[in-house]
Amino acid sequence: MIVDRTTFKLVHNLSVTMEPFSPLQRQPIGKLIRQSAFGRKKDTIMKILKWGVITTAIAVIIASGGGYVYLRSTIPDYNRSLVHSGIDQEVEIIRDSFGMAHIQAANDTDAYFAMGYCQAQDRIFQMDLARRAGNGRLAEILGPSLVKVDKLYRILGRLVPLDDWYAKISPQSRAAIDAYADGVNAFLASGNTALPVEFTILGYRPDPWRAADTLAVMLYMGWSQNYAFKTELLHAAIAEKVGPRMAAELFLDYPAGAPAIIPPGENPMAGTAMEYLEAMQLAGSLLGVAGGASNGWVVAPQRSENGGALFANDPHLGLTAPSIWYEGHLTTPNMNVSGAMVAGIPFVIAGANEHVAWGVTNSHYDDADFYIEKLNPENPLTYRYEGRWETMRTVTETIGVKDAVPDDFTIRLTRHGAIIDDISRHDPRPDHALPCAGPRPTFPWS
């Protein structure tokens, strides 16, 4: 009976809706049909919009959750043990509340291995960029705009090749950076943590770390802080733009009547200086190493509250995220040292041990000069030296370029150094190409 009453009510309601219209309510049947069709279409659109919004919201939630899980996977796991054949005895790494690594090892080699592992855990992308700068390999991942930076550091690297540099350092230093490289590679091979998101965005994986890569980071840091090098280039660029008389108002003038190697009025660095300055600025803006002055000071024991000497050091390098500096603490039977390092280098640059504290400042002195080579107009691979023509040594370099063909160029070396205008010689823009004959600047380094 309940079913019957329900059916009745439904039929009754239906009969009400089907009652004839009063004269005032009468409408053409065609209009009714159109309105009815429009209503159904509107309902369909609203349903589509509703489900579209729901679907989009679900997709955003899933994507956000997946992104969060992925980003969480790139955070280093500090609470785990690692078994590796690269160390002789057990090493303990303690992370304090700031994330600073305190390494306790039975020997120096194991300590440097652990430092390589820790730095790679925290800074592997920053380390990879720095070594790529020093090795002239940024264009491989960042494209054609970095080719001139790569050329700059390929040329500078030829003054003292990294492999030659490695052979000249002390056995203790070689052992330290070898162990450090093994530690970096242990992290890369461990698979315990996903690589930082920057590698995914740029679409590449870092190569194994070599001992020479640590020297490449040192090379980049050293050249970025060579102010005499940049000052000479800046003077030449300004003189090219405004003339030597106005340029002399900004720089110390050369004493009148003093011996001059370059004839008055000549600016052999014209056209080259700006190319070099732009390349160095581009590298500095990418890696954030550029700085200004630097300083350090001490307070004598008799002037301090506890009777101990106070030491402060401010290198004035740029503020970056992540920082240029990497704080660490290494303890072995032979050393107990803590302080600031540069990511990619295992040595404490500014820090302290039980006996002494030290820091580093940049002295703005004239430690760089350029030679002007006179090239043979009939053979641009020979240059004038002590009244005779000497043949240059040449090295062909290939720079890989992301999404473009590789760039081949030749570095020319004289007994004074590398001819530096080769940074623009192979630039595809014709207004930046320099003629082969005539005086060419070279830069020495020993």
Residue in 274, 299, 321, 7 with CA at minimum distance from that of residue 152: 274
Residue in 369, 377, 380 with CA at minimum distance from that of residue 417: 369
Percent of the chain clearing pLDDT 90 (strictly above): 39
1-28 pLDDT per residue, tens: 333 332 223 333 333 333 444 444 444 5
Who has greater pLDDT, 428 or 372?
Answer: 372
Segment of 59-73, 268-282, 378-392, 419-433 carrying the highest mean pLDDT: 378-392
Tokens representing 262 are 């370059």
Who has greater pLDDT, 291 or 100?
Answer: 100
**pLDDT value of position 83:** 83
Instruction: Transcribe 166-233 into DSSP letters.
Output: HHHS-HHHHHHHHHHHHHHHHHHHH-SSPPPHHHHHHT--PPPP-HHHHHHHHHHHHHHT-HHHHHHH
Locus of tokens 């063909």: 405
Q: How confident is the model at residue 265 (pLDDT cuts 50, 70, 90)?
A: low
Q: How confident is the model at residue 192 (pLDDT cuts 50, 70, 90)?
A: low
**pLDDT value of position 391:** 95
Residue in 369, 419, 416 with CA at minimum distance from that of residue 394: 419
Report pTM: 0.76
Q: How confident is the model at residue 172 (pLDDT cuts 50, 70, 90)?
A: very high
Q: How confident is the model at residue 434 (pLDDT cuts 50, 70, 90)?
A: very low
Locus of tokens 């540099």: 165
**pLDDT value of position 208:** 97
**pLDDT value of position 13:** 36
Who has greater pLDDT, 157 or 422?
Answer: 157
Query: In angstroms, rounded to a whole number, what is the distance separating the alpha carbons of residues 379 and 389?
Result: 10
Check whether 358 has a pLDDT greater than 50: yes
| Mean pLDDT of the region 106-114 | 97
| Residue 316: HSE in the Cβ half-sphere, 13 Å Cα cutoff | 10
Q: What share of the chain is helix, strand, coil (3-state, %, to 5)?
A: 45, 20, 35
Check whether 402 has a pLDDT greater than 90: yes
